[in-house]
Every structure is written in structure tokens, then in C-alpha cells.
A and B are shown apart, each in its own frame.
Chain A
Amino acid sequence: MSQRINLRVWLKIPDAEAATVKNTLSRRMGLKDVLSDVKKERLFSIEVDSGDPQEMAKAFAKELVNENKESHKVSINDLTFEEEYIALKVALHIEDGEAISIRERLRSRLGFKNVVDVKKATIWKLYLNGMDVQERAKEIAEGLLINPHKDSYEILGK
């Protein structure tokens, strides 16, 4: 039975892209009063058809995470988030060349023949105050974080 290893990766150093998103949402899109912070993670969802998923996750992290500047967290199959923010998952709905390259690298160059599929996404952690945070998150996604002609999004937490 196949299992999905979720590898969430974030920078230990300040994330300039998240800072730019926060700045743009606050200064250019009128969300200063409702948005207290924005953080970003990269999500790799790696489907394997055999092996101990925890051990596989350690091996994948060695390849995909630079411990000098990044931290990571592993979950198997389920993807859960903390309560204090809205987790917005953004992924390509057109072909994701980077995800395909990672799958091929894991399978062909690094010998992980049990890798069936790799999906890649960005998790935007939106620290929103007030009412209607889901609606705000939708507005942020559609107003800045996605281009609907290539990206799709999903609200995962809160």
C-alpha cells in the first residue's frame, strides 16, 4: 500500500519572499489592520509504495533540506497545521516541471525506486485577526498568491 510522506520545509533565516508578501498585502492591498504576519513553507508530498516511511522521510530530508539554513517537519499521510494561522496551500495545476525533476532525481540518480510520485506546493501561513478569516484568506489567495491560469489553492487549516 502506498503512503504519502509530507515534508514541510521552512527557512531558519528571515524569509524575504514572505516579508515581501506581508508588505504588499499590508501596504498595497489594505490588509494592514487584519494581517499580523505571513510565513512560508515549501511542501513536498512524496508517495512511496514500499519501505518504512519514517526512515524514507529521513533519507528524503537529507536530499531536499539544507540543514544549514532550513528546518523541516515530517508527517505521514495526514497534513495538519497549528490553530493560530490559516494555512493556504498553493500548487500548480499545470504540469509542475520541478516536481517531475525531483521525482526523477530521487528515482534515477539517488536510487529511491519506491518513489511513485512527487507533488510540490507552497504553504502560506497567514496570521489573520478578526472575523471572516477564511474569506480574507480567499481574497489574499486570489488577489496575490495565485494566478488562476496556472495555480490552484486550498485552505487547509483553522
Chain B
Amino acid sequence: MKIAVMQFPGTNCEHETLVAVKAVGMDGEIFRWNRSAGELSSFDGYFIPGGFSYQDRVRAGAIASKEPVIQALREEAAAGKPIIGICNGFQILVESGLLPGTGKIDMALAQNVMTSGGRIVRRGYYCDWINLRHEVPSKRCSASFLIERGALLKLPIAHGEGNLVTATPGLIQKLNEEKQVVFRYCDSNGRVLNEFPVNVNGSTEGIAGICNPEGNVLGMMPHPERSFFAWQLPGYDPKKQRPDEPGPGRRVFESVKRHIEVNA
């Protein structure tokens, strides 16, 4: 089982993503954007990690989405292989039309706008630990294949453009109805509130991650690879915990592995 961790100029989470891939027992390698796109077909799944591909020139994800490797990933997505975009990877998937999956740009991940009490309290780049609620049944989506509906995950975010907006009429309703909204920002009790700091970036309906209609392509703003091990979590106590104990992000990588096994 071999995973390609995509690397574009400006990607900065590829190494920790690869560590996470290998830690759940998958083989993997970093796949540079300028390798022959045809080589991608020999992989079983793909991660597009976070960072600032092409320095976010024009807008986040726009330039990377035009690369031949993304065209090749389109074909792999159609073949049912899992493709997981994290943070900038999510932005690339949206700009390429792979998410929400109609083949055209159906939404934007715009600049963060944090509101509270009816007024804007801050804008732009923000990093913090947030709570996510899993919104769909297990097995609906590749990257949450083993996660039960309603499960809460504590993961970090670090982005300036994660505010999901759309001008497509009825799109959000359709995503809800088709169970394509996979993760929402919530408080520690699982309540979804449209207020900062629970809705951390102003995203429509607190949406933090979506999948395509088939469920094999998923994009999410939070970083599961940065909460893969217990030592990465804010509450880690080296006197009470082993550093390699699992963190909540591990479930995303285990899910991808299981999805590949089941669909092999």
C-alpha cells in the first residue's frame, strides 16, 4: 500500500505527513510536483499537505491547481483512490474543482473573518487548537472511514484563508443533504456555533472539511498530521504519557489505510 505525499514549491507539511503515513503501516514517499505525472498511477492514495504552494500567488492553491500532477490526480480520483487535501491541500482541491466534485470551481476558501456578537473581531491568519465534529456516518468518506458520526477531534489549525464561501445557489444545502460536509468546527461539547472562537474563520455553517460525492476525495483545513502523536498535543505530560501514544489525528490516517484495504 503506497501513498504519494505531494510536494509543491512552498509546501511545508510533507515530512510530518509522511511520518504519519508510515506510522500507521503504509508505505509512502514525497512526490515532487515536477516528476512525471504518469508515475502517480502506481500509488494507492494521495495526500496534498499544507503550506503555501507557490507562495499563495494569485490566491491560495490557484497556481498549483494548474499543474499536470493535479490533472493526473483527477484521473486517480475518478478511479476511486483516496485523495486527502489538508489546509493548502484543501485549497488546491477546491481550486482544481476536485472539491466539492463537480469539476468546476464551486466555492472559495476566502480570507478568515472572525465574528462575535454580530461584529468582526479579527481577520486573517490564525493558528490555534480547535474542536471538530465528525458529521457523517463512518465509511462515508475515505479520511474518516473509521470515525463514528458525532465524534469530536481536537486538531490544530493554521491558515489565513479557510473561510468557505460560495455563490452557487443551493450548494450548501446539497452538500448537507448528500453528506458531503464531513467536519464542522464546534466547542468542546460538540456544539456548532457560528461565533469566534468556535467558528474559527467565519466559514459558512462552520464547515471545516468536505468530501466529493463518492467520498474518496476529502479536504479539511485542520492538520491531523500535527496531532498524530500524544507529544504533539498541548496537554501532553511526559511523566504520565508515552510520546508515541496516539493523538486524534491518527484516526484520519488509519481511516485512509482502511479505506484502501476495503476498496482494494
What's the minimum C-beta distance from A62 to chain B, rounded to whole angstroms?
Answer: 24
Q: What is the 8 Å Cβ interface bit string for chain A, positions 137-157, against chain B (1 contact, 0 not)?
A: 000000011011111000000
Identify B168's interface contact among A17, A145, A149, A151, CB under 8 A.
Answer: A149
1/0 contact trace for B95-118 toward A, CB 8 Å?
100000000011110110100000
Distance of A15 Cα from B150 Cα, bound (Å) = 47
Q: How far is the CB of A139 from chain B (nearest CB, A)?
A: 13
Asked if B108 and A149 make an inter-chain contact with CB atoms under 8 angstroms apart, the answer reads: yes
> For B158, what are the chain A residues with a Cβ–Cβ distance below 8 Å?
none
List residues of chain B with CB within 8 A of the CB of A64.
Answer: none
Flag if B58 contacts A94 (CB, 8 Å).
no
Q: Which of A29, A94, A95, A150 is most buried by chain B, counting CB atoms within 10 A of its CB? A: A150
Chain A proximity of B196: nearest CB distance (Å) = 14
A149 and B58 contacting across the interface, CB-CB below 8 Å: no
> When chains A and B are docked, how far (Å) is the Cα of A101 from the Cα of B123?
10
Query: What band does the interface of chain B fall in when counting residues whose beta carbon is under 8 Å from A?
Result: 20 to 34
* Interface set, chain B 100-156, CB cutoff 8 A to A: 105-108, 110-111, 113, 120, 123-124
Stretch binding the partner chain, chosen from A20-28, A68-76, A78-86:
A20-28
Is A97 in the interface zone, CB < 8 Å from B? yes
Docked complex Cα distance between A94 and B124 (Å): 14
A16 located at the interface, meaning its Cβ lies under 8 Å from any Cβ of chain B in the complex: yes
A147 near B113 with CB under 8 A, answer no
- Residues on A with beta carbons closer than 8 Å to the beta carbon of B106: 149
Please count the residue pairs between chain A and chain B whose beta carbons lie under 8 angstroms apart in the complex.
52
- B79 within 8 Å of A by Cβ? no
CB distance from A147 to the nearest CB of B (A): 4
Chain B residue nearest to A142 in the complex (CB): B105
CB nearest neighbor in B for A145: B58
Within 8 Å by CB of A149, from B105, B113, B124, lies B105
B166 proximal to A (CB < 8 A): yes
Residues of A within 8 A of B (CB): 16-17, 20-21, 24, 28-29, 92, 94-95, 97, 101, 144-145, 147-151
Residues of B at the A interface (CB closer than 8 Å) are 54-55, 57-59, 62-63, 66-68, 95, 105-108, 110-111, 113, 120, 123-124, 165-168
Assuming A17-B55, A21-B57, A101-B123, what are 12 further A-B pairs, CB within 8 angstroms? A17-B58, A20-B57, A21-B58, A28-B66, A95-B113, A97-B120, A144-B58, A148-B167, A149-B108, A149-B110, A149-B165, A150-B165
